[in-house]
Amino acid sequence: MTTFLRSSDAFIWSIGADPRMRSTIVSLMLLDRSPDFMTVVRRFRGLSHHVPMFRGRVVPSRWPLPPRWRPDPEFDLAFHVRRVGAPGAGDLDAVLELARVAAMADFDPARPLWEATVIDEMTGGGAALLCRMNHALTDGVGAVEISRYLFDDPRQIGCRPACAVTVPPESTWLPTMSPIGEVVSASVGAAVRALQGSVRTMPGLLAHATRHPAGSVRSAGATAASLWRAAGPHRRGSPSMSARSSVRTVFVHEVPTRALHRAAAVAGGSLNDAFLAAVVTGLRRYHADRGTVAEFMVTMPINLRNATDRPGGNRTTLMRFRIPAGPADPAVRMHDIHRLAGAQRAEKSLAYTSVLAGAVNLAPRCYIRSQFGNVDFIASNVPGPATPVSLGGAAVRRQYAFSPTLGSAFNVTLLSYNEVCGIGFNVDTAAIPDVELFREHLIAGFDEVVAPLR
């Protein structure tokens, strides 16, 4: 039946109307040979039944309700799953050019918001699977969960192949009410749920406030401050990465997972701390060529998924915080990042993610654009399969993800796979016009973090 977008999904869908904030996720899977194409098609067919939004399109609702997922009555799998020969020299750079274009292209709103392209005839006999989807479909962790339904031996990663799922009848995805009925039903349902929640929680809140008035005031103040840090205005850290455009470029890097873990262990931190420290180290080097900078404003997605959540939809929240450009010692920087990132995971605003998304979605577009534009970079760490997998008889060699910049200067996404961290950079070329210099410094930043342990 017709389903309303969650607040987070509706927000990410709405900001994509601005080409500078286009919310497209691009993933690249490098294979050792060409996969059996019909197997790939069957897997995506099954996947589109398992995650119904892959057969749906977004349609507007009457104000003030969010948009809805509605089944596409003309769904054509052949439009979404394609096969092409590798362009140009057929090497990785040629495929990355396709990924760059995919990151910049918009989706047809009359069709489901995803595409998958098998790229054959790469240099050395290899192949690739290039996928792109609108962020409203899912987040990074959800995308990994979805991709697991494509692999040949799902027992290795704890899921069933998409071609083996029970296919629901098409009628279960058809709207059962008139548009007026949907609006009334949703409005009444929301009001009833809100009233029920108030009735359940109000006695306890009043009793607690009566017994602990000072503590209640402090708690309310702390929550308000946390909400302000999450949604209030912020200034950017870097003055030299201020321009924004709709033009992107992408590049990749890879680091052994073990190397990042060992680097983090020196500072008593996590792989994510080493990852962020390497990015900041590279940025510090880059800014040394363009002028000094004291700190960077970073957005870090925090995963809120639990075992009962379906892979579709967004179950993350975006937390903004500042990371100092110094000190020079990578171990000290990792220690500082561990403290700063840990504080974000303890923010009281995490409990109000859906409410915040709904509220921000009602804000003027110019305010949203300015606040996202004041973010220097977005950094995502997404765990992928820990063991080797295959697709249509072809072994997966590497996986990379290019997440949207969402108005920031660049997005860097770490996608781990089989003991290797594949790192994808999606860069706004107006913010960073000297991309090759930027790339060299970022790679040097990773080398600097892991070098003492080699």
Annotated catalytic sites, by residue? 135
Q: Measuring CA to CA, which residue among 340, 237, 240 is closest to residue 296?
A: 237
Question: Residue type at 307?
Answer: A
| CA 122 from centroid of its chain's CA atoms | 28
Task: Classify 88 as helix, strand or coil.
Answer: coil
Which tokens belong to 296? 């960077």
Strands 81-85 and 114-120: parallel
Rounded CA gap, 317 and 327, in Å?
Answer: 28
Angle of CA points 71, 9, 432, to nearest 5°: 120
Alpha-carbon distance 325 to 323, whole Å? 6
- In our burial notation (b when 16+ CB lie closer than 10 A, e otherwise), range 141-160 reads bbbbbbbbbbbbebeebebe
Task: Provide φ and ψ at 435, rounded to 5°.
Answer: -65, -40
Please list, in sequence order, all residues whose beta carbon lies within 8 angstroms of the beta carbon of residue 146, skipping any fewer than 6 positions away. Answer: 47, 51, 138, 311, 312
Question: Alpha helices of 140-178 — where are they, by DSSP H?
Answer: 140-147
Backbone angles phi, psi at 373, to 5 degrees: -70, -20
Q: Strand 410-417 vs strand 377-383: parallel, antiparallel, or unpaired?
A: parallel
| Phi-psi label, residue 8: left if phi above 0, alpha if psi -120 to 50, beta otherwise | alpha
- CB-based contacts of 25: which residues, under 8 Å, 6+ apart? 132, 133, 134, 135, 138, 140, 143, 401, 402, 403, 404
- Of 116, 128, 133, 42, the residue nearest 80 (C-alpha): 116
302 forms beta bridges with 317
- Which residues are 49's β-sheet partners? none
| CA torsion angle 12 16 22 25 (round to 10) | 40
Of the candidates 293, 243, 282, the one whose C-alpha atom is nearest the C-alpha of residue 407 is: 243
CB atoms within 10 A of CB 136: 27
